[in-house]
């Protein structure tokens, strides 16, 4: 490893340490630097700040997540959705997909399961993601996602806060169905 690479690695490690500083100023500077670098490996440290940081730091991290340009970040965000540790910030993670224009089409079953088990806001975020998808899928590709929505609708009447959202999600999924299928 060259001296330049070692120096860059040390600088990056310092930025990550500063994310967890007691100084809000250092945290904010680290968030900005990570935002500028666009490194997908910073997703989980940023989510930790989202969970445990000050209000200002959480707002800064949310802004970064809403402006992701790195498509590799999508997998890290999906991994976070699957980790119970990040349940308190799941709505923000979901919103980061559509705010960034990252559409995890291959994760429709996971997204619909989250909509079915989550609260109204999470269901709404999933609906927004699905409505923003510009793809055509075969019925077999949609079936696992549609199953979660059908199950929800079978077990909850329209008095449930998410019922209308889930009905809209069912329509949005059907709109993704390939006309050739």
3-state secondary structure of 39: coil
Q: Round to whole Å and give the CA distance between 143 and 138.
A: 9
User: What are 46's two structure tokens?
Assistant: 């940023």
CATH code: domain of residue 64: 1.25.10.10
Q: Round to whole Å and give the CA distance between 170 and 172.
A: 5
The pLDDT tens digits for 79-110 are: 999 999 999 999 999 999 988 888 899 999 99
8-12, 56-60, 116-120, 150-154 — which is least confidently predicted? 8-12
Of 148, 154, 76, nearest to 118 (Cα)?
Answer: 148
Same domain, 53 and 134: no
Residue 126 belongs to some domain of the structure: yes
The pLDDT tens digits for 29-80 are: 888 888 777 667 889 999 999 999 999 999 999 999 998 877 788 889 999 9
Confidence (pLDDT) at 7? 77
Q: Average of pLDDT values for 139-152? A: 96
Residue 176 belongs to some domain of the structure: yes
Same domain, 112 and 141: yes
pLDDT at 144 over 60: yes
Number of domains the chain is built from: 2
Same domain, 26 and 80: yes
pLDDT at 180 over 70: no
Name the residue range of residue 114's domain: 103-181
Q: Tell the residue number behind the tokens 């990040």, with chain if given.
A: 86
Residue 98 belongs to some domain of the structure: no
Among 92, 120, 155, residue at a domain's last position: 92
Across the chain, what does the average pLDDT equal? Answer: 90
The pLDDT tens digits for 162-172 are: 999 999 999 99
Same domain, 60 and 144: no
Q: Average of pLDDT values for 133-161? A: 95
Same domain, 116 and 178: yes
Angle at the Cα of 114 (from 110 to 117), degrees rounded to 5? 135
Same domain, 81 and 33: yes
Same domain, 59 and 111: no
pLDDT at 181 over 70: no
Same domain, 55 and 108: no
Residue 97 belongs to some domain of the structure: no
Among 38, 70, 92, residue at a domain's last position: 92
User: What are 167's two structure tokens?
Assistant: 């009905």
Number of residues that make up the chain: 181
């Amino acid at each position: 490893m060259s001296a330049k690479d070692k120096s860059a690695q040390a600088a990056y490690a310092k930025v990550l340490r500063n994310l967890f500083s007691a100084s809000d100023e250092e945290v904010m500077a680290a968030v900005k630097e990570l935002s500028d670098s666009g490194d997908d490996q910073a997703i989980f440290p940023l989510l930790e700040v989202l969970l445990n940081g000050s209000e200002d730091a959480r707002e800064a991290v949310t802004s970064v997540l809403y402006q992701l340009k790195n498509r590799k970040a999508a997998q890290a965000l999906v991994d976070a959705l699957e980790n119970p540790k990040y349940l308190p910030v799941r709505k923000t993670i979901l919103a980061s997909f559509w705010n960034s224009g990252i559409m995890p089409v291959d994760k429709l079953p996971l997204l619909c399961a989250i909509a079915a088990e989550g609260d109204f806001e999470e269901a709404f975020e999933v609906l927004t993601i699905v409505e923003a998808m510009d793809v055509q899928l075969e019925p077999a590709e949609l079936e696992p996602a549609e199953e979660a929505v059908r199950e929800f609708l079978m077990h909850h009447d329209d008095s449930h806060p998410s019922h209308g959202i889930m009905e809209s999600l069912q329509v949005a999924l059907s709109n993704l169905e390939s006309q050739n299928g």
